[in-house]
Amino acid sequence: MTLEYLAFANLILLPRLIYLVNDGPLSRWQSVGVGLLQIILVMAVFKWTLALLGVVLTVVGISILAVTLQRKVILAKGYRILSLLGLLLIPGYFSSFGEGFVFTAEFSAVAAHLGSHLPLLADLNADSLGNLSSLLLGILLLANETNIGIRAAFHHLQLVPHEKENPEKIDEKEYNAGRVIGILERWLMFIVVVATDDLSALAFIIAAKGLARMKQLDDKQFAEYMLVGTLLSALSAVLVGFWVKQLLKTGLS
């Protein structure tokens, strides 16, 4: 995997962080805004090539589809996962027919200028930038994209937490708390997997989460919700962690 593609993937993922605060369908303007920001970021960093054309066509197509389906349930569930695959894979396919992703001269000049004037960036080279990009990609995948997948699984398995007083209404407080806890949990597991070969600390993280919510586990529905969420969260953190660890070992192609 090249540094350019890693940078492209991170630029695509950053605007999608809006989904962290919006489980429901986005408004038309929000959907268009996310797509527009993705295009602006990518065009600010890369030259106009077939790969960039693939980015523009894919983002425009997905934005149009998002506006068309904005009132459909699928938008907040499986659609967002499929859109991510399209955003990452279709431009990559386009890049195989040309130069691929190429940094603009302006972006390279700005990066060189920052490297020469900021002590923290003085020792950065292609390999270290690739490592940082790989780590950032793992963090973004485990923060937002994994959250989307887990939420889709909750809906499919009908494990979404509901208020006790009103069983028809989703318990937003518990849902949002689970979101934050899940992200922190995955990040900690990710650090453990990438930084060490000893995975015993993963058991401690899971146990600490269970201990903090021990009283709530008497509720069978909540126990199932927490167990499924924890297992999916841990599995995703381990898989992404091992993948990023392999990227760090093999280096950039």
Q: What is the pLDDT of residues 55-70, one digit of tens each?
A: 999 999 888 877 776 5
Position 167 scores a pLDDT of 67
**CA nearest to 59, candidates 23, 81, 88:** 88
Locus of tokens 């993948």 = 243
Tokens representing 46 are 């890369």
Average per-residue pLDDT in the chain?
82
Task: Specify the pLDDT at position 241.
Answer: 94
More confident residue, 213 or 160: 160
For residue 164, pLDDT over 90 is answered with no
Q: Is the pLDDT of residue 171 over 80?
A: no
Q: Is the per-residue pLDDT at 163 higher than 50?
A: yes
Q: Which of 175, 179, 95, 189 is nearest to 138 (CA)?
A: 189
Per-residue pLDDT of 118-157, as tens digits, reads 666 656 666 778 888 999 999 999 998 998 888 888 888 8
Is 100:54 a contact under the CB 8 Å cutoff? no
pTM here is: 0.87
* Helices assigned H by DSSP within the chain: 3-13, 28-45, 50-68, 78-95, 105-117, 126-140, 146-157, 172-195, 200-212, 220-250
The per-residue pLDDT for range 10-35, each reduced to its tens digit, is 999 999 998 887 776 777 788 889 99
Q: Is the pLDDT of residue 45 over 70?
A: yes
Top mean-pLDDT range of 19-28, 51-60, 107-116, 224-233: 51-60
Greater pLDDT, 175 or 154: 154
Inter-residue contact 43 to 170 (CB < 8 Å): no
pLDDT digits (tens, 9 = 90+) for 190-211: 999 998 888 888 888 888 777 7
pLDDT for the residue 75: 44
The per-residue pLDDT for 89 is: 92
pLDDT of 41 > 50? The answer is: yes
